[in-house]
Every structure is written in C-alpha cells, then in structure tokens.
Structure 1
Amino acid sequence: MDRENEEHVYINEEPNSHDVRTGRQISTTHQTPGSSETTEQLQCVQVLLCVVLLTALIVLGTNYTQETHQLQSDNTNLINERDALLSKNNDLIKERNACRHDFFKENNGWIYNHSSFYYISSEKKSWNESRRYCTERGADLIIINNKEEQDFVQKNINRRSLFWIGLTDIDEEGSWKWVDGSTPTFRFWKSKEPNGQRGENCAVVHSTVWADYRCSLAYLWICEKNILM
C-alpha cells in the first residue's frame, strides 16, 4: 500500500476529523435510523392509554352513580308501596271488625271488645248447658285473662246476678282450669273462695269477684268468641 492510501485509512479511523478547507470538526458518530421517531410513538401510545383509562374511569363512575341513584329511587318506591299496603291492610281490618261488631251487636246481642265478641245471657242454665249454648255458636264460656277484661265484664253485667264463666276444677279437685285447658294467670277469687271442694266445681263471676258453685245450678252466663288472627 502506498503512503497516500495509508493516510486515507488513518483519517477514516479517527473518531472525529477536520475539514481541511473550513477547519471544522466532522463527527463520525452514527445514530440509529428512526430512534427519535420510535420514542415519540411510545409517548403517543402512553398518552393514548392514559386517555382511554381516564375515559373508562369516568364512564364507570357515571354508571355507578346512576345505578346508585336508581337503587335508592327503587328502594324509596318499595318503602312507599309497603307503607301504602300496610295502611290499606289496617283500614281493611278496621272495616272487618266494624262489620262484625255491627252484625253481632245489632242482630245477635253480642258485644265487641279487644278482638273478642261477648254474649251476656238473659236466661239461666246449668254450667254444662251454658257452655253448650256457647259452643253451638262457635264460642265458649268466657276466659278472663287480665284485669282489663275483668273490668269489661263488670261494666256489662248486673252485679247483683251470678254469671257462669269458663273456669272449672271438675277434672281434678283443686286444679282450676279454663275451658281451653290453660291455668289462670290472673285470679279474682272472693275472700275464702274457692271453698266448695268436691261439691262446687264451676266458677261464676259476681260483682267484682269469682266464686265456686255447684255446676248443676242454673245461672246466667257469658260466652266469648275470639276473632284475633
């Protein structure tokens, strides 16, 4: 190789060379074609993804808010419908009770009080006959469960008369039971009553108290028909 060619090779191997005419340095560093364009494309993709995600979040948030409002509205409507039905049901119950009250009171002499109808007789029968009269009409001799019912009886009877009630110890002496088999939780026995032992196994109400008498005697009676559902 001649000297001129050697110098040419040497110059090409220099990382930087100078232009002999202008004296400016010539860069021999090479850039990868399209590298700046790829970076810009990546940035564009990232921005696009951010926009898509943000849009999706906004849409989801809007749908959630709308669904929440719809559920709240539906719940309010259901509550209103429930209250309307309850109100209507209460009105129907009042109408039913009023009809029954009028029917029994006007046509059969029955008195309505606290979900029960009461029949106060005007004739006299034995305890068994009195009970039969009640059961034939879908009722039974009265069961007095509390003071309020005792007070109701006192206000509607002739206190000078005796009225059979649905209380007896005929099955077991000394074990007083109501006609439905329950044991009295409230007692209004007269002082020293019951005292009839085996001879007096049925109870009457007289004035404000109870007493035991022979079941075969004829007295007035009180029937009770409970309509509580």
Structure 2
Amino acid sequence: MAAVTQPSFQSTFSPGSNLELQKSSACCSCQEKWIGYKCNCYFISNEVKTWEESKKYCASQNSSLFHLKREDEFQYFRNLSKDVYWIGLLYDETRDAWIWEDGSILSNNL
C-alpha cells in the first residue's frame, strides 16, 4: 500500500520493493521511506493486506488510500512498478459509479 501527503493531506497506493525512494519532492520534504512527487509524499508498503485492511492502516497513519487526480500521477506510478496495488476507489452499486473514498466520482478523463 502507499500513502500520499501534501503538507497535511495524505492518501495511499502500493508498488513493489524495487523502488528508488526519494525523500522529498521539489516543493516539500517527505518523511523517511516516502516518495516525493509534485508536492506530494507517497508511502509505499510491501505488506500484503486486503483493501479494507489497507484503508484502516492508512487511517492509522493519518493518510488514506491513493486518490488519483491527474494523468501524470498515473503514468509516474505505473512506471515505478508493474505490480497491482490498492487505491482509494470503490464501486458504489446504488450510484452505479466508481467513487473515491472522499465521495467524489471517478473522472471520465482518468
């Protein structure tokens, strides 16, 4: 699982163990073992957890599952690892839509 943070915002997703970790991005400083990318900090975990377990772990770390907002984020993290990881997206059958943890609907352009 991985976590994203802006100065005090965080979310999560999870690539593999062969990542080159950066301690900071160009505009913010990240905690040890976090990846800095475009003013966000991302935590990558190699632990195997269910989606719900990952969500709870992130909450315990004052973060949330990864919330993809821009195409460049997708490309950057897709290039880090070909593994599959949890993100903060779930299907809401009552709304017949993919919903992010914060309640927003997945953008058609992503």
TM-score range relative to shorter protein: 0.5 to 0.7
Change (3 A) 1:175 1:96: closer
What's the TM-score once normalised by structure 2's chain length? 0.66
Structure (1 or 2) with the larger CA radius of gyration = 1
Large movers: runs of 4+ above 4 Å: none
1:55-204 equivalence runs, <5 A: 97=28, 100-101=29-30, 104=31, 107=32, 109-157=33-81, 159=82, 161-170=83-92, 172=94, 174-185=96-107, 186-187=109-110
**Residue identity in the other structure for 1:166:** G
Structure 1 residue 179, shift from structure 2 partner = 0.8
CA distance in structure 2 between the partners assigned to 1:121 and 1:170 by the alignment:
26
Q: Is the 2:27–2:39 contact (alpha carbons within 8 Å) kept by the matching residues of 1?
A: no
Q: Deviations over 1:51-105 (max 9, x none)?
A: xxxxxxxxxxxxxxxxxxxxxxxxxxxxxxxxxxxxxxxxxxx9972xx23xx1x
RMSD: 2.3
Identify the structure with bigger relative contact order (alpha carbons < 8 Å, sequence gap 6+): 2
TM norm structure 1: 0.34
- Structure 2 gap ranges (5+): 1-24
Whichever structure has more helix as a proportion of its residues is 1
* Number of residue-to-residue matches in the alignment: 85
* Partner SS state of residue 155, structure 1: helix
Structure 1, gaps ≥5 residues long: 1-93, 188-229
Amino acid at match of 1:124: V
d(CA) in 2 for partners of 1:129, 1:162: 16
